[in-house]
């Protein structure tokens, strides 16, 4: 008889091949992963008891993102855990934990998602700590896969500036906070990056008192690096996911890799909103095999066809009526 371990390995191999190939089949794979998780993840199984069986990927029950702080969401024995990534809390409360018994699908999602979005694989310079320096950070793990060690410039502003001045082309990858620190440290200095250069910003200003609206931050890319607005990309991901969503410029939707989806839902009913309407973002990530593939975020988004335009984390900005139920529904 197959054990959960054997089932996991076989399913992981099938998903790896599918992710490498591309194309359709999302619903089939999502429902298969959901069935596996419902059987092998005790906390998720208990959560699903209040929902009817899912006949479509859109019907797969999504756990609130806060569940990663309060529940042990894994589909394998705890002693098989090889890595646990930890969320960065905003108020010093208990962090969320995302457990992995294998990093294979996360590696595929991070590297193939980057290339699939149209981002180059070379000339990447990182403002993110290496995985060895921040072993609990999923973003650091992703950056370590994408960027060679000698191209990491976390907390090395002057070294980075020199590298940019000599680079024939550059792809800068960092958090919004790291870029803001870099720009403030430059003062009035600037460097004109060569044609074809890009920046990819991610994250935000969690756990700090600092912040800057995105249009203002993007103007600093123009001022200090000579990068136009549409040459600045945003990577949207989270510790609780294995996959990422990308866009560039302002006011454009984030696009999903073929193994993930974003659904914008009404917080009062949980139903998908109409095209162009605002709701709460629900994410489905088939690469999240070892935990839960469906996650209800606290982020606002606008439905744009099969994709979403991210607005940010502010349930109070929902249309009147929805805002009153958002926090209660998410909890």
Delimit the domains of the chain by residue range: 1-79+259-331, 118-254
Q: Is the pLDDT reported for residue 322 higher than 60? A: no
Alpha-helical runs (H) found in the chain: 4-21, 26-40, 42-48, 67-70, 104-116, 138-146, 157-166, 176-186, 214-225, 322-330
149 confidence band (pLDDT: 50, 70, 90): confident
5 confidence band (pLDDT: 50, 70, 90): low
| Tokens describing residue 114 | 């980057």
Mean pLDDT, residues 81-96 = 81
Question: Which pLDDT score is estimated for 321?
Answer: 40
Bridge partner residues of 280 (DSSP): 265, 300
Residue 165 and residue 72: Cα distance in Å, rounded?
A: 47
**CA dihedral of residues 170, 149, 202, 195 (deg, nearest 10):** 0
Residue 130 and residue 140: Cα distance in Å, rounded?
A: 5
Question: Which pLDDT score is estimated for 150?
Answer: 86
Q: If you count them, how many residues does the chain have?
A: 331
Question: Which pLDDT score is estimated for 23?
Answer: 77
DSSP state of 254: B
Question: Which pLDDT score is estimated for 320?
Answer: 39
Residue 168 and residue 170: Cα distance in Å, rounded?
A: 7
Mind listing the pLDDT tens digit for each residue in 202-218? 976 565 556 788 999 99
Neighbour count for residue 324 (Cβ, 10 Å): 14
Find how far residue 82's CA is from the centre of its chain. 21
Neighbour count for residue 224 (Cβ, 10 Å): 22
Tell me if the domain spanning 1-79+259-331 has CATH number 3.30.70.890: no
Q: Which of 215, 259, 254 is nearest to 237 (CA)?
A: 254
Residue 81 and residue 72: Cα distance in Å, rounded?
A: 12
Question: Which pLDDT score is estimated for 211?
Answer: 72
Neighbour count for residue 329 (Cβ, 10 Å): 18
Mean pLDDT, residues 313-331 = 47
Question: Which pLDDT score is estimated for 209?
Answer: 56
Neighbour count for residue 192 (Cβ, 10 Å): 12
277 confidence band (pLDDT: 50, 70, 90): very high
Residue 269 and residue 234: Cα distance in Å, rounded?
A: 30
Under CATH, what is the fold of the domain 118-254?
Rossmann fold (3.40.50)
Mind listing the pLDDT tens digit for each residue in 222-269? 999 999 999 999 999 999 999 999 999 999 999 999 999 999 999 989
């Amino acid at each position: 008889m197959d054990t959960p371990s054997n089932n996991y390995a076989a399913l992981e191999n099938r998903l790896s091949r599918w992710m490498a190939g591309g194309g359709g089949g999302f619903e089939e794979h999502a429902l298969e992963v959901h069935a596996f998780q419902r059987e092998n993840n005790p906390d998720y199984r208990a959560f699903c008891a209040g929902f009817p069986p899912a006949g479509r990927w859109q019907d797969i029950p999504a756990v609130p993102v806060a569940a990663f702080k309060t529940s042990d969401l894994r589909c394998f024995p705890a002693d098989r855990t090889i890595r646990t990534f930890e969320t960065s809390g905003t108020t010093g409360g208990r962090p969320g934990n995302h457990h992995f018994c294998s990093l294979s699908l996360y590696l595929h999602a991070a590297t193939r998602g980057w290339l699939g979005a149209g981002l180059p694989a070379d000339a990447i310079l990182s403002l993110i700590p290496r995985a060895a320096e921040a072993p609990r950070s999923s973003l650091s793990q992703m950056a370590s896969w994408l960027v060679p060690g000698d191209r990491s410039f976390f907390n090395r502003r002057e070294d980075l500036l020199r590298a940019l001045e000599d680079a024939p082309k550059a792809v800068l990858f960092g958090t919004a906070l790291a870029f803001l620190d870099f720009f403030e440290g430059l003062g009035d200095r600037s460097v004109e990056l060569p044609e074809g250069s890009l920046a990819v910003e991610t994250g935000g200003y969690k756990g700090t008192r600092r912040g800057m609206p995105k249009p203002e931050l993007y103007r600093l890319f123009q001022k200090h690096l000579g990068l136009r607005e549409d040459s600045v990309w945003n990577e949207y991901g989270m510790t609780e996911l294995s996959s990422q969503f990308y866009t560039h410029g302002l006011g454009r939707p984030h696009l999903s890799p073929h193994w993930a989806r974003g659904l914008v839902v009404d917080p009062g009913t949980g139903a998908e909103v109409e095209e162009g309407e605002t709701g709460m973002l629900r994410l489905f990530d088939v690469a999240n095999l070892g935990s839960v593939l469906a996650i209800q975020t606290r982020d606002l988004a606008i439905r744009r066809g099969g994709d979403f335009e991210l607005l940010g984390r502010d349930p109070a900005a929902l249309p009147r009526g929805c805002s009153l139920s958002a926090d209660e529904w998410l909890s």
